[in-house]
Amino acid sequence: MVFAPVPQLTITIEQQGETPELHVHPGGQGIWQARMCAALGAPVTLCAAVGGEIGDVIARLLEREDVRVRIVARDTGSGWYVHDRRDGSRSEVAEHPGVPLGRHDLDALYTAALAEGLRARIAILSGAAGPQVVHPDVYRRLAADLNSHDVRVVADLTGDHLSAVLQGRVAFLKVSHEELIDSGRAPGDDDGALLDAAHQLRAEGAEAVLISRADRPGIALLGDDPLLVGLPALQTVDHRGAGDSMTAGVATVLARGGDLPEAVRTGAAAGALNVTRHGLGTGHRDAIAALADRVALTPLNAG
């Protein structure tokens, strides 16, 4: 189950030749994670709340995704963004994260996510485009409720939402080094600082931790084993979505009963492949499997 509380409508303008192209898709962290899980062969149920004219479009577009969708109709409008990529970079034209979920909408979404989560082996808790859209305590409650019924929780969140989900406990936490630095959890991006942060995250409620570090080796803390995660070198087209693909790869392996090292290798491979593509949360299963064999996990001695 992927908890994607407030997905967005994504509109991207691109131009490869003489004619501009307009691409319209459902998007947001949870959508991209669910898409990658499905690409890796996992059966996925996506739980989301949508509303307004934008929400109607998102709901119709979600019908084309290779996932089962549990939609909650909300009273307020969904989020959106418009990006211009015609010059090769990504320029923000305008965006709106969505109206914060009201009490009735949140109750309906929480009930749907809990019901679907209890039917799943793994639940991914993803964030919204803006921190104000969903209250952090929702993540604490949902993680705690799922854990109490032996559903393993995977999360990739930031700020207060990260702190809240740790209180509810997670089986696997994926987090970026930028988030750890920005939130004051790590003083820098060197191995020792990030490993100390990983130990602290474990103490707060994460059983296993994977810290992504852009194009540098990531850091994993699996049980008591600190590891460097060497990524396959590939040419970057768009770095966005790599972390979400990484989270999805980890969750998919855990859902089918794989061990933590296999999960980290697959997640790293999925993230590495995603940067070679324009589509977020996309990739081919066979290519990810081939790349996973090239992900190096080496013991980390931070001194």
The whole-angstrom separation of Cα 230 and Cα 6 is 33
pLDDT (tens digit per residue) in 181-209: 999 999 999 999 999 999 999 999 999 99
pLDDT (tens digit per residue) in 130-173: 999 999 999 999 999 999 999 999 999 999 999 999 999 999 99
pLDDT at 280 over 70: no
pLDDT (tens digit per residue) in 260-279: 999 999 999 998 886 565 44
pLDDT at 238 over 90: no
Domain map (residue ranges) of the chain: 2-299
pLDDT (tens digit per residue) in 30-60: 999 999 999 999 999 999 999 999 999 999 9
Percent of the chain with pLDDT over 90: 80
> What does the chain come to in residues?
303
Domain 2-299 class in CATH: alpha beta
Q: Which amino acid is at 162?
A: L
Cβ partners under 8 Å of residue 38, min gap 6: 44, 65, 66, 67
Strand 122-125 to 2-3 pairing: parallel
Closest CA to 255 of 9, 247, 303: 247
DSSP secondary structure string for all residues of the chain? -EE-SS-EEEEEEE-SSSS-EEEEEEESHHHHHHHHHHHTT---EEEEEE-HHHHHHHHHHHTTSSSEEEEEE-SSPPEEEEEE-TTSS-EEEEEE--PPPPHHHHHHHHHHHHHHHHT-SEEEE---SSTTSS-THHHHHHHHHHHTTTPEEEE---HHHHHHHHHH-BSEEEEEHHHHHHTTS-SSSSHHHHHHHHHHHHHHTBSEEEEEETTEEEEEEETTEEEEEEPPP---S--TTHHHHHHHHHHHHHHTT--HHHHHHHHHHHHHHHTTSSSTT---HHHHHHHHTT-EEEE----
